[in-house]
Structure 1
Amino acid sequence: MNQDYDYKLVSSEGADHFVRKYYSNRPDILTLFLNLKFPVLRSDLLRYLILESEGGVYSDLDTAALKPFNEWIPSHMKEKVRAVVGIEYDQGDDEPYVGMNEPLQFCQWTMASSPGHPIMKKVVSSVVRSLQELALKNQTTIEALSPSDGEVITVTGPKVWTDAVFQSLSEAMASSMSHVNITGMREPTLFGDILILPIDGFGSGQPHSGSWRGEGNAPTATVRHMWKGSWKHGWSN
């Protein structure tokens, strides 16, 4: 679907090479990443570093393209968009869904941005700081970190990502942005240069948030996520 794009599958060794290439002048990031051994923590941080450095589109292995990248952004917005973010969870008026701690959460299994976008700079800084704080809290080293699923979500996963997105939206709109401004969204909406896709953009087929539950794929879906979740403790394939 994306014949005009180059595709890179990044291995663990390739991740180390990438970070040495782009962050040799940032020892706070380079040393932390090279010492980080817990796979999902490395994977989470790496995706933010890739987009901060090179830009482009990141997507997890357990995803499939439903529409070409060039169709993700409405034609009348293409000259303005510098980052694309999708909603993962929108509680709305429903009861909280199991495992979700925020009323609205953005997914980080798929995302896109231009190089150096502020949204990526924010999340990289937050993750580095949060990992250092987690190691201190648990009285261990970065290398020996073995976090719970909840700590992963908070420190490197959807929670820290969602916080960074809302911070960037607030700056773009010169107003405090929260789930109240996003909940119930059904059309792609531009905030400054950040395009927010509604729930079915990246997260159709989920048993919550009013996402598509019909046969096939939602008409507005761009990516299908398989929810393998192999990083989670006790997760059975």
Structure 2
Amino acid sequence: MRKYFNGPIYETYTKMPLMVLKADMLRYAMLYVHGGIYADSDTQCIKGINEWIANYTDAEFIVSVEWYKDSHQIDAPQYRKTQIVQWTFASIPAHPIFINTLNEIVKVASQATPEFLQNKDNVEGIGGPRVFTRFVQQFLEGRGETLDAMDKGIGDNRFYFEKSRVLVLPMFSFMAQLGKSEATGFVNHYFGGTYLSNGWKNA
């Protein structure tokens, strides 16, 4: 972080009071610099990236849906919009989604109180999947495309945004349904942050 982002991004990183906030920043920074695949430590690769990509070999950004718009029963604003998984994704280097997300984290942190940053309930809105999804959407909209083109009726089909070169894998591609350990797609996610006693949501 110091080598590649010395300045406001690095300063914000060092001041983050929770390790999970640092981890959010670090994943965006690493892929912005190097490209490649990011995955949380509580994930397991089930199928190789060639199977993720299939025939979409010119894809430059690969993500998966956490939930589709209006597919949740919970009546809260964040569940009325499609959300993208943030525990696994792949990208070419220097993708603008990452630097835009990092700059937003800097902006939010600069205006936040220490109490706000220390509150685990705010993590997902500071640099987590809500913010990540917002900048994926912003990138698509800048090219005349939108996540709103997808819905839960998409089934098991990938959704490829040709202008943006963003490949979106269907819901459950990168996760185990309801935290079960069975493989459900390309990546299995064990939700250590939620279900382990030392997970970031618990400890």
The TM-score bracket by the shorter chain reads 0.7 to 0.9
Residue 164 of structure 1 corresponds to which residue in structure 2?
135
Is the 1:86–1:203 Cα contact (8 Å) retained in structure 2? no
Shift of 1:88: 0.8
Q: Which amino acid aligns with 2:188?
A: R
Residue 123 of structure 2 corresponds to which residue in structure 1?
152
Is the 1:65–1:222 Cα contact (8 Å) retained in structure 2? yes
Gaps of 5+ in 2: 194-198
Residue 149 of structure 2 corresponds to which residue in structure 1?
181
Deviation track 1:106-129 (CA, whole Å, cap 9, x = no partner) reads: 110001111111221221111221
Using a 3 Å threshold, how does the CA distance of structure 1 residues 45 and 94 change in structure 2: closer, same or farther? closer
Aligned to 2:171, which of 196, 199, 204?
199
Is the 1:87–1:203 Cα contact (8 Å) retained in structure 2? no
Question: Normalising to structure 1: TM-score of the pair?
Answer: 0.73
Q: How does 1:56-75 map to 2 (within 5 A)?
A: 56-74=36-54
Using a 3 Å threshold, how does the CA distance of structure 1 residues 35 and 60 change in structure 2: closer, same or farther? same
Residue 16 of structure 2 corresponds to which residue in structure 1?
36
Gaps of 5+ in 1: 1-18, 208-212
Tell me, what secondary structure is at the counterpart of 2:142? Answer: helix
The alignment status of 1:103 with 2:73, answered yes or no, reads no
State the number of aligned residues.
194
Is the 1:153–1:159 Cα contact (8 Å) retained in structure 2? yes
Shift of 1:89: 1.6
Using a 3 Å threshold, how does the CA distance of structure 1 residues 47 and 94 change in structure 2: closer, same or farther? closer
Residue 20 of structure 1 corresponds to which residue in structure 2?
2
Distance 1:63 1:99 in 2: 28
Give the RMSD, CA atoms, in angstroms: 2.5
Shift of 1:68: 1.3
Identity fraction in percent: 28
Question: Normalising to structure 2: TM-score of the pair?
Answer: 0.85
Deviation track 1:79-105 (CA, whole Å, cap 9, x = no partner) reads: x11110111122545522789544321
The alignment status of 1:224 with 2:188, answered yes or no, reads yes
Distance 1:66 1:168 in 2: 29
Q: How does 1:80-99 map to 2 (within 5 A)?
A: 80-92=58-70, 94-96=72-74
Deviation track 1:131-167 (CA, whole Å, cap 9, x = no partner) reads: 2222xxx2x49xx941232x11111111101101111
Shift of 1:64: 0.4
The answer to which structure has the higher helix fraction is 2
Residue 48 of structure 1 corresponds to which residue in structure 2?
28
Deviation track 1:6-60 (CA, whole Å, cap 9, x = no partner) reads: xxxxxxxxxxxxx122123xx1112221232311110011101111111110000
Using a 3 Å threshold, how does the CA distance of structure 1 residues 158 and 102 change in structure 2: closer, same or farther? farther
